[in-house]
Homo-oligomer: A and B are copies of this chain.
Amino acid sequence: MSRPRTQAERLAATRATLMREARLIFAASGYDAAATEEIVQRSNVTRGALYYHFKDKRAVFEAIVEEVAREIAAAIDRKADPVGDPLQALIEGTRAFLDACLDPAVRRIYLIDAPAVLGWHRWREIDAPHGLRSLREGVTAVLAERPGQGLSVEPVTFLLSGAFNEAALWVAEAKDEKTARREMDRSLVQLMERLFGSPAEPARPPRARARA
């Protein structure tokens, strides 16, 4: 296994190594400061190999962003049970997202650098079938239970997405991460419970709030 004999194995192994090492360096140094030379040295190949596998440096980064997006979405879907209460699923999914963002690599690559390097549009395009899809489905399910609230799916989805992304960064940057995480969790739950309110009928829990 140390020296893959077949071409296909060799190809896959090299690509996987490049992706792994590049991800570490992108996470540690940021996209701009990450030199392709360092990536290939740690991968025990030359820059020729990198440019054989990827069109340019940006393409390497984009592939990694897609990978990270898939991982995040998988973590969310693992926690956000679609059969139970939709609002609860949304809350659990959000928690899974915040936990995924405890990894500095995720924050640096996915939240900070990706929009700048790939552009906001492309970034959202990549996320569309993953985290964003999961969130949109959650919002859709919650709103389906609560018709006539005057909330539309798309704006709410992006509002929440932006809020969650910033929440992750705020927690990570806080002096006391543990405490910040707990504080943010409370506020997030409050935000979603109040935004969406209780399902259906006017019958609301104890402290019914008047509508404006």
Question: For the complex, is A36 an interface residue (Cβ under 8 Å from B)?
Answer: no
* Interface residues of A, dominant DSSP: helix
Chain B residues with CB under 8 A of A154: 183
Check B151–A158 contact: CB distance below 8 A.
no
Check B187–A116 contact: CB distance below 8 A.
no
Question: For the complex, is A82 an interface residue (Cβ under 8 Å from B)?
Answer: no
- Inter-chain CA distance A188–B117, complex, in Å, is 28
Check B186–A158 contact: CB distance below 8 A.
no
A158 in contact with B170 given A30-B116, A120-B112 (CB within 8 Å):
yes
Check B116–A155 contact: CB distance below 8 A.
no
A150 in contact with B120 given A159-B166, A162-B166, A166-B165 (CB within 8 Å):
no
- Nearest CB in chain B: distance from A147 CB, A: 13
Question: For the complex, is A102 an interface residue (Cβ under 8 Å from B)?
Answer: no
A112 in contact with B121 given A152-B183, A190-B195 (CB within 8 Å):
no
Could you show 14 A-B contacts with beta carbons less than 8 Å apart?
A: A112-B115, A120-B173, A121-B173, A151-B190, A152-B187, A155-B167, A155-B180, A155-B183, A160-B163, A162-B169, A191-B195, A194-B195, A195-B195, A198-B210
